[in-house]
Amino acid sequence: MYEQITRNKWRSFFLVLFFLCLIFALTWAFGEMTGWGTQGLIVAVVIAAAMTFGSYYASDKIVLAISRARPVRKEEYPYLYNVVEGLAIAAGLPKPRCYVIDDTAPNAFASGRNPKNSVIVVTTGLLQKLNRAELEGVIAHEMSHIKNYDVLVQTLAVVMVGVVALLSDWILRSFLWGGGRRRSRDKSSGNAAAIFIVVALVLAILSPLVAQLLRLAISRKREFLADANGALLTRYPPGLASALRKLAADKEPLEAANKATAHLYIVNPLKDIKGRVNKLFSTHPPIEERIAALEKM
């Protein structure tokens, strides 16, 4: 299990590194297409940094607002507080704040930029439909996301996808506004300029799709890692496995979820991924594979 955790961490690291290389390639292409050169690169980097900084500090507030989550009092759900407190102590983490989404679809997610500023969000359906062992398995899974800084990685990945899409749009717009023609007039070699324009356009068109696939790959790999760490935390893998079976059997979509936040939940809240092609765009690995991995522990 520890070898699998190490492999997943390294794979996630290289996927994020690829994101950074892709963003750099797009900023360079944007500067060349517009003829701005170094100035264009500086502008793009400043905007990317500003977006990253803002998302880093406001990500949890944004997600909570989008998900329509509300803070929950200990008197309202005392057993939820007890489970969260006990697992936080076991994991050696500060106790996350607890939030609830008033929805009968069972699901949960964690958010926050670090363990000191973390939250765990569950739906009322999850609290109603799971027993104590299953609830502990789900909370342990989310606690593992917090401990491993998975939420931070996911937030950065989302920001990178947005930056890639923004830069790609700039490149395409600069071409439509005549940037490609200005570029070709500035260079003595028309053939070389034409080749560059084609490469830049292909990069601009395909980069958002590639970035999205990579973001989803990071999400899927980290779900396996959180399952393993969560089972290690509770010392009872069947609890999480049973919870995943119940969540998979429940076909009710979560109304508060959308494609922007779906990757944060323990299982896909949209319930609309079918077929091999669409699985490429799924934010989660197949539940059957996750259950099989837990049963082998």
Least confident of 96-105, 106-115, 137-146, 240-249: 106-115
Structure confidence at residue 107 (pLDDT) = 96
Residue 96 has pLDDT above 90, yes or no: yes
**How many structural domains is the chain composed of?**
2
In a domain, 112, yes or no: yes
Q: Which residues are catalytic?
A: 142
pLDDT tens per residue, range 116-149: 889 999 999 999 999 999 999 999 999 999 888 8
CA distance 45 to 228: 37
Structure confidence at residue 119 (pLDDT) = 93
In a domain, 157, yes or no: no
Expressed as residue numbers, the domain containing 146 is 64-150+217-295
* 18, 210 contact by CB (below 8 A): no
Say whether both 202 and 236 belong to one domain. no
Burial of 245 (0-12, 13-18, 19+ CB in 10 A): middle
* 111, 89 contact by CB (below 8 A): no
Say whether both 34 and 72 belong to one domain. no
CA distance 112 to 56: 9
Residue 90 has pLDDT above 80, yes or no: yes
Say whether both 16 and 141 belong to one domain. no
Say whether both 142 and 68 belong to one domain. yes
Residue 8 has pLDDT above 60, yes or no: no
Say whether both 73 and 47 belong to one domain. no
pTM for this predicted structure: 0.74
CA distance 45 to 57: 19
Say whether both 83 and 181 belong to one domain. no
Structure confidence at residue 195 (pLDDT) = 58
In a domain, 155, yes or no: no
In a domain, 156, yes or no: no
In a domain, 114, yes or no: yes
**CA atoms in the 13 A half-sphere facing the CB of 9:** 12
DSSP string, 228-272: HHHHHHHT-HHHHHHHHHHHHH-----TT--TTTGGGBSS-SS--
Say whether both 137 and 81 belong to one domain. yes
